[in-house]
Amino acid sequence: MNDKDANWIGLVLAGARAKAVAALYRYFRDLDMAEEAFQEASLRALKSWPKNGPPRDAAAWLILVGRNSGIDAIRRKARFTDLPDEERISDTSDAEADIAERIDDSHYRDDILRLLFVCCHPDLPATQQIALALRVVSGLTVRQIARAFLVSDAAMEQRITRAKARIARSGAQFETPDAADRAARVGSVAAMIYLVFNEGYTSAGERAETRATFADEAIRLGRLLLGLFPNEPELMGLLALMLIQHSRDAARFDAAGNIVLLDDQDRALWDRPMIAEGLALIDKAMRHRTPGVFQLQAAIAAIHAHAETPEATDWVEIELLYRVLERLQPSPVVTLNRAVAVSRTEGPQAALDLIEPLADALGGYFYFHGLRGGLLKDLGRIEEARAAFDIAIAHANTSAEAVHIRAHLDKLGAPPATSPVESRR
């Protein structure tokens, strides 16, 4: 097989993976078995397709071959019988047409939704949900996922194995979900997809490959989910939010991997086609007049994307949108974000008054102390700002965040010899 064949087959397999694995999971009711069956079918595709050409429905072909090979594997283990000849398993002729007719879009939708829902099972911690979705649905290697989480391959393999075992013990449901259950599942899946996106979005500058991989996979999963439910405005909002945020990736870090704030970013580096797609999605979502959390966040991101310069940003509208978001999803972090807008519309003192009550809830949150330090600096309360920045560095999640705060400290100048902060060092 030449490189050209490998490339097009790889793309077809990647596009069909979610449908095929989801259907095989329903059939075998075991994630490991579904993955193994898909891998076996993929290997047979690499042998068969260069000679015979692609099937009419790649997903149906993979499901049929994967199901047959899975059944044969079970029989072999049980009876120690030989596998059938290669030609017998892989030469499906037009059999995929029959299965494609029987497994229509509604079957695919419920299968994929079931698989996605299993990956975001409420018994799993967020890191395991992300890892499982990337491994099972997206097909990323254990090494790719481990590198993103800065753990060894063995540790990530163990984490994924534990997640699968917990799902098996919980007894996942295989019946077709009703309308109410489906709606609840869609919300859970959307939240999990955004977790995948954020894992990449918040990665440090030196982890550019991780950012791109996770963001691209989250966007692909978002497109997949929206394709299943094309009239759901919150899913439009989710995809719009991810597209607009990811459009700024090339401008968010400098060559050394240091953070570049939004106001300082080179807007010529923003991906305008990606922004245009996001803006079209959020406009379409808003026409439904059923605002949701993702739609509001996307609308805020859209205001930033519309502004050709930092000075052109409509901070009044952003602050209003954050007020609505606070009502829909009361959260100290939402209030903290609103405080940024308030600082632009009413000044640093108003913003500081807004965030001071959040000290207990956000005492261990890097961005709280970073924003508080910046507001104190703007008010001329330099030593208090220095103390806040010192706490922010202690809570930094990445080296890029620590370097960013260190730059603010350097701008404050050397502390006095009697500084209470210095005396504690």
End-to-end Cα spacing for the chain: 64
Does the pLDDT of residue 210 top 90, yes or no? Answer: no
Q: Which residue has the higher pLDDT, 210 or 111?
A: 111
Same-domain pairing of 141 and 225: yes
Residues 6+ apart with CB under 8 A from 215: 197, 200, 201, 242, 246, 249
Q: Rounded distance, CA 405 to CA 350, Å?
A: 22
* 119 inside domain: yes
Question: Mind listing the pLDDT tens digit for each residue in 336-366?
Answer: 999 999 999 999 999 999 999 999 999 999 9
pLDDT > 70? residue 89: no
Residues of the chain with pLDDT > 70, as a percent, come to: 84
Which amino acid is residue 258, in one-letter code?
N
Domain that holds residue 223: 104-230
The residue-averaged pLDDT of 81-89 equals: 50
Structural domain contains residue 321:
no
- Going from the C-alpha of 88 to that of each of 81, 93, 378, the distances in angstroms are 15, 10, 75
Extract the tokens encoding 350. 């108003």
- Name the residue with higher pLDDT: 244 or 117: 244
pLDDT in tens, 254-289: 888 888 999 999 999 999 999 999 999 999 999 999
Q: What is the pTM of this model?
A: 0.78
Q: Which carries the bigger pLDDT value, residue 206 or residue 368?
A: 368
pLDDT at residue 417 is higher than 60: no
To the nearest whole percent, how much of the chain has pLDDT over 90?
Answer: 46
Among 116, 143, 356, smallest CA distance to 224 is for 116
Angle between helices 233-246 and 208-228 (to 10 degrees): 160
pLDDT at 1: 60
Largest pairwise CA distance in the chain: 84
417 three-state secondary structure: coil
Asked if the structure places residue 178 within a domain, the reply is: yes
- Give the Cα separation of 395 and 125 in Å (integer): 22
Tell me the DSSP string of 91-130: --TTHHHHHHHHS-HHHHHHHHHHHHHHHT-TTS-HHHHH
* CA gap 401, 202 in Å, rounded: 10
Q: Do both 80 and 13 map to the same domain?
A: yes
Residue 112 lies in a domain: yes
Last residue of a domain, which of 68, 103, 138?
Answer: 103
Please give the full DSSP string across 142-160, using - where no structure is assigned: HHHHHHHHT--HHHHHHHH
- Assess whether pLDDT exceeds 50 at residue 91: no
**Rg of the chain in Å (alpha carbons):** 25
pLDDT, residue 41, reads 93
Going by C-alpha positions, the residue among 123, 161, 110, 116 that lies closest to residue 137 is 116
pLDDT tens-digit series, residues 284-318: 999 999 999 999 999 999 999 999 999 999 999 99
Question: Domain boundary residue among 47, 79, 103?
Answer: 103
The verdict on residue 297 lying in a domain is: no
* pLDDT tens-place string over residues 359-404: 999 999 999 999 999 999 999 999 999 999 999 999 998 888 888 8
Average pLDDT, the chain: 84
Confidence grade of residue 179 (pLDDT, cut at 50, 70, 90):
low
Query: In terms of domains, do 142 and 152 share one?
Result: yes
Most trustworthy range by pLDDT among 138-142, 210-214, 325-329: 325-329
Task: Check whether 23 has a pLDDT greater than 80.
Answer: yes
Distance CA 142, CA 414 (A): 46
- Are residue 88 and residue 171 in the same domain, yes or no? no
- Under DSSP, the state recorded for 135 is I
Say whether both 154 and 115 belong to one domain: yes
* Range of lowest pLDDT (17-31, 148-162, 168-182, 238-252): 168-182
Q: Is the pLDDT of residue 423 over 60?
A: no
Determine, yes or no, domain membership for 275: no
Q: What is the pLDDT of residue 111?
A: 81
Give dist(CA 368, CA 209) in Å, integer: 28
* Residue 78 shares a structural domain with residue 108: no
| CA dist list (Å): 220 to 6, 110, 134, 148, 292 | 21, 18, 11, 18, 21
| pLDDT value at 425 more than 50 | no
Q: Is residue 65 in a domain?
A: yes
Provide the Cα torsion 392, 393, 395, 398; round to 10°.
120
Long-range Cβ contacts of 353-360 (<8 Å, 24+ apart): 358/332
In the prediction, which pLDDT does 80 show?
A: 53
Average pLDDT over residues 160-184: 74
Burial 354-378 (b: 16+ CB within 10 A, else e): bbeebeeebeebbbbbbbbbbbbbe
CA trace torsion 404, 409, 410, 411 (10° rounding): 100
Q: Of 200, 230, 260, which residue constitutes the final position of a domain?
A: 230
Domain count, the chain: 2
